[in-house]
Amino acid sequence: MAPKKNATATQLESPATTIRKMKVERQTDNALLKQFEELLKHGECGIAWNELHKATKIVPPRGTVAIVVDVPENKGAIRVFEDASDQYLGGVGTEHAGFMVIVPWDENWWFRVSGSLRIGYIAVVLTASQS
């Protein structure tokens, strides 16, 4: 018998078929980046916040390692899709009201926004020796 699609089963699926989400308290950019860098060991990162158009295909800028969805109230959601097949991979919505949700990003994904949310793109900061 196949497992039901619940939170536990979703967490066990392969990363290619679902998104990973980390719910965190709403906080300053510096605190958020510090927490992200410690969790995922990406080195020094920066964040750029955006208010995005609803119901459009959105592809984060090249080099994005995660997106942050700021869900201050019950006012919106994002749905993440695999680029080649448009397969739905997961989302962040009203169940996360009052929190921020970090989604480690794959460059082969895109997302769509509904409602009113602020989205941050996290990217690794390149030093002069890395560019």
Q: What is the pLDDT of residues 23-72, one digit of tens each?
A: 999 999 999 998 888 777 777 889 999 888 888 999 999 999 999 999 98
DSSP labels for 95-106?
Answer: GGTTEEEEEE--
**Cβ pair 80, 113 in contact under 8 A:** no
Give the pLDDT score at 6. Answer: 33
How far is residue 70's CA from residue 86's CA, in Å, rounded to a whole number? Answer: 24
pTM of the model: 0.80
Q: What is the mean pLDDT of residues 78-91?
A: 96
Q: Show the domains of the chain with their CATH numbers.
A: 22-124 (2.60.120)
pLDDT of residue 77 exceeding 90, the answer is: yes
Give the pLDDT score at 127. Answer: 59
Give the pLDDT score at 19. Answer: 94
Sign of the torsion formed by the C-alpha atoms of 125, 128, 129 and 131: positive
